[in-house]
Structure 1
């Protein structure tokens, strides 16, 4: 299913190309007529919080036959691919399905049937419906928000969403409705339809502002967000944890509601507020998924102390499988370097006079570091803005460090800047440059980092000197490290 994440709820065994013997697995077998490739592939995410996919493959026989043994222990939405084509397949433990399609026409010719008489008819019905629905809606640009429908004003946009949902429900009922499917798939299919509607409506204002050049944000009618107060929408279909649309909507709802309660993304307590709201709002199987996804965001964009406290609460109260918790702990550790609130990595510097310089001498002040190389055009482009930015913060407890990666850089600083008391021209010694690049995650030059008054990372990717928004960000940065520390955190 294009544009969606694919998740499995529950653990799976080790995947190999050999037939699996895990109890409760599913079987896909079939024939490809007029084959155009020699293998068929099935892939999915092993758990809702894992970005990595698992894949199993099968080679076609000379006649085009194949068989895939899928070691699933819980309902799973997978992606079947053949050549350049791909389509979604919904599997439950014990399913045995036969499928057939023409080699060049996977999406339009694919048909499912039970491999064991009537025993798996519901599974075949589900996947035939899924294939037809994808062809009519997911693969039809006219039913997508982007690229054109996002340009609609509020009333016609809602009409578009209403019409699309009506047509999707019509397709669902024509396929037999819930009576033709298992209760698990019926819950999944209904969640996909309703949460796609809810998510597209919820994200419409922000997405339209990003995409449509109108010069100002669209003014919405007072009742635009009333749908979020519908109990059928929030907390939503928590009996359908395999639904990517339900997960996306619930996570986006958390962000929307926290902002509506007065906490912008720049607030030091933003991610703890998201976590606490999600903990209050969601129950059942969906709760550990949404809480876990808030944690993943916090690991990347939030404060390290907040992330560790929230993860401790998750371990104590989320009732998540041990594998999920282990993955979260590994992810936190992987993003520890340069996380907000962690000590800034050592930065060996040499002054223009040849003396060694350590960032510790600037404790009590903000430190805005520009890593650059005067021989590079992009670095040269930033230099004219340095003097003006420094001027805006004259007398403030902030220092701008010009950390050059070439020996002659200091001679090329703008006139008057090198002697300003709030600017420190410096060079990264040649032997230290590989380590500094690694420690500060420098891929290209120029690169920037903002360090708090207490020597911890405050922003690993601040705006560059040429950005007009940098001045506002720096003004808001004074004392922000202390504001992070003052945030009330969940206790396990």
Structure 2
């Protein structure tokens, strides 16, 4: 009898486990109105993607009548559906059977996953209304009390939308609440710095909130919030600097406030990506990274950046390249041998790059008769974007472009963000692989000394 009951229990547990297993695939189907979209493409969202969410890029087949249906193996997370000239944010998880209807730019949902994506649609509508303001144009101009009230109201509006969709997936609810919390913390953190650019005498009041006070910094779900790594990078980076340490040294200390190993690893990695170029203890940092980082892919990125920096140290030969100019003629770095070269990696979509244009033109004008060439390398997918900007801002100098060599060139010069500047001597060797920007007055002193 005991054996029989045990057998029944085993069968029950096995069948229950089978029933609870979630199909790793989703069914995505629907219909677009004629002329609404010639193609559909599903890809991972760069802005909202979850931590460790794999990259996905998939074209969906649209039939002549506008219908489409595809079965896709997918991980839980945030995706973008490109529909012709429009983009729609989607939240997808294994087991979904989501039906979409696109009509005159509007989208509606049905089936498993509809509740979550109806929420995403409402969230995006709210972001479109209140998300356009940035610190330099709006927040930094507000007095402290008014800013705090506004930042709190933005969080409340996000939370109200989440609360109205209380039947949606619980994990999505949690991560969306964390997004609202982190966005407010990010605003709190940045205001105290940006306000000083408007009111030089500004000092935060005693009542000014601690930006991180409402966050459980050991909650791994915070890693699903794209702003979180940058928030802790900025916050703890300042603490490290105030205590005479490089950022990575603080993170590996036993006294570091975050104890969760995965979050500490992400904090260390984020610091490496954004600050490695300025580390004075570069070799010591790299040795520690190999002990501290467990994720193989993160280790590989750090190693690649470290080796690139070692190859870009002063006196090392600058990596040669051959790109195309605006006349589609080949131009190589070695063509400028015997002259100093100032490389500018930029793009038409890069706001900080555009902001440097007046200073860059002034720099070129001052040294137009000297033995220094100013070479702008466009990080663009098409030449027309560069040409339009050249004409709009009446830019001179040498403009190069070749999307087929973009990744190779960025890796060679360790370009993790733009604008990025490199200064090269007459022999083709590196002077500075992370040179000063055109608007930095010290750059003029440096160039004057080189030309003497």
| TM-score of the superposed pair, with normalisation by structure 1 | 0.57
Instruction: Report what 1:303 is aligned to.
Output: 279
Measured after TM superposition, the shift of residue 328 of structure 1 is: 3.5
CA distance in 1, matches of 2:305, 2:71: 30
Whether contact under 8 Å (1:89, 1:127) holds in the other structure is: yes
Note the alpha carbon deviations across 1:334-367, whole angstroms, 9 max, x for none: 45442xxx352149xxxxxxxxxxxxxxxxxxxx
1:192-231 correspondence to structure 2 within 5 Å: 192-209=179-196, 212=198, 214=199, 216=200, 218-228=202-212, 230=213
Instruction: Report what 1:258 is aligned to.
Output: 240
Question: Structure 1 residue 167 and structure 2 residue 151: aligned?
Answer: no
1:462 to 436, 443, 446: 436
CA distance in 1, matches of 2:44, 2:412: 33
Whether contact under 8 Å (2:423, 2:431) holds in the other structure is: no
Measured after TM superposition, the shift of residue 252 of structure 1 is: 3.0
CA distance in 1, matches of 2:239, 2:64: 56
CA distance in 2, matches of 1:28, 1:275: 43
| TM-score of the superposed pair, with normalisation by structure 2 | 0.62
Instruction: Report what 1:72 is aligned to.
Output: 74
CA distance in 2, matches of 1:86, 1:71: 21
Question: Structure 1 residue 235 and structure 2 residue 203: aligned?
Answer: no
Structure 1 unaligned blocks of 5 or more: 1-21, 115-119, 264-268, 348-368, 385-401, 407-437, 475-492
Whether contact under 8 Å (2:317, 2:430) holds in the other structure is: no
CA distance in 2, matches of 1:460, 1:248: 21
CA distance in 2, matches of 1:377, 1:471: 11
State the Cα RMSD in Å: 4.4
Measured after TM superposition, the shift of residue 24 of structure 1 is: 1.8
Question: Structure 1 residue 113 and structure 2 residue 113: aligned?
Answer: no
CA distance in 1, matches of 2:149, 2:230: 22
Instruction: Report what 2:288 is aligned to.
Output: 313
Instruction: Report what 1:60 is aligned to.
Output: 62
CA distance in 2, matches of 1:462, 1:331: 20
CA distance in 2, matches of 1:334, 1:51: 27
1:152 to 139, 142, 147: 142
Measured after TM superposition, the shift of residue 34 of structure 1 is: 4.3
Measured after TM superposition, the shift of residue 80 of structure 1 is: 2.0
Q: 1:459 to 1:50 in 2, by over 3 A?
A: farther
Secondary structure of 1:460 counterpart? coil
Measured after TM superposition, the shift of residue 135 of structure 1 is: 0.4
Question: Structure 1 residue 344 and structure 2 residue 315: aligned?
Answer: yes
Measured after TM superposition, the shift of residue 62 of structure 1 is: 1.6
Q: 1:151 to 1:272 in 2, by over 3 A?
A: same
CA distance in 1, matches of 2:194, 2:147: 13
**Number of equivalenced pairs:** 343
CA distance in 1, matches of 2:315, 2:271: 25
Measured after TM superposition, the shift of residue 154 of structure 1 is: 0.8
CA distance in 1, matches of 2:171, 2:122: 19
Q: 1:304 to 1:51 in 2, by over 3 A?
A: farther
Instruction: Report what 2:346 is aligned to.
Output: none
Q: 1:49 to 1:290 in 2, by over 3 A?
A: farther
Whether contact under 8 Å (2:53, 2:77) holds in the other structure is: no
CA distance in 1, matches of 2:149, 2:440: 39
Instruction: Report what 1:181 is aligned to.
Output: 168
Q: 1:473 to 1:157 in 2, by over 3 A?
A: farther
Q: 1:250 to 1:463 in 2, by over 3 A?
A: closer
Measured after TM superposition, the shift of residue 197 of structure 1 is: 0.7
Q: 1:284 to 1:473 in 2, by over 3 A?
A: farther
Q: 1:145 to 1:460 in 2, by over 3 A?
A: closer
Structure 2 unaligned blocks of 5 or more: 1-21, 319-338, 343-360, 375-410, 448-452
Q: 1:59 to 1:283 in 2, by over 3 A?
A: same
Measured after TM superposition, the shift of residue 173 of structure 1 is: 0.9
Q: 1:126 to 1:463 in 2, by over 3 A?
A: closer
CA distance in 1, matches of 2:131, 2:291: 46
Secondary structure of 1:220 counterpart? coil
CA distance in 1, matches of 2:45, 2:269: 15
Whether contact under 8 Å (2:33, 2:66) holds in the other structure is: yes
CA distance in 2, matches of 1:243, 1:38: 33
CA distance in 1, matches of 2:208, 2:446: 31
Measured after TM superposition, the shift of residue 371 of structure 1 is: 4.2
Q: Give runs of ≥4 in structure 1 deviating > 6 Å.
A: 45-52, 438-444, 455-459, 471-474
Note the alpha carbon deviations across 1:291-323, whole angstroms, 9 max, x for none: 222121134x323852x5445434433432x33
Greater shift in the superposed pair: 48-57 or 188-197: 48-57
Secondary structure of 2:252 counterpart? helix
Secondary structure of 1:239 counterpart? helix
Q: 1:198 to 1:220 in 2, by over 3 A?
A: same
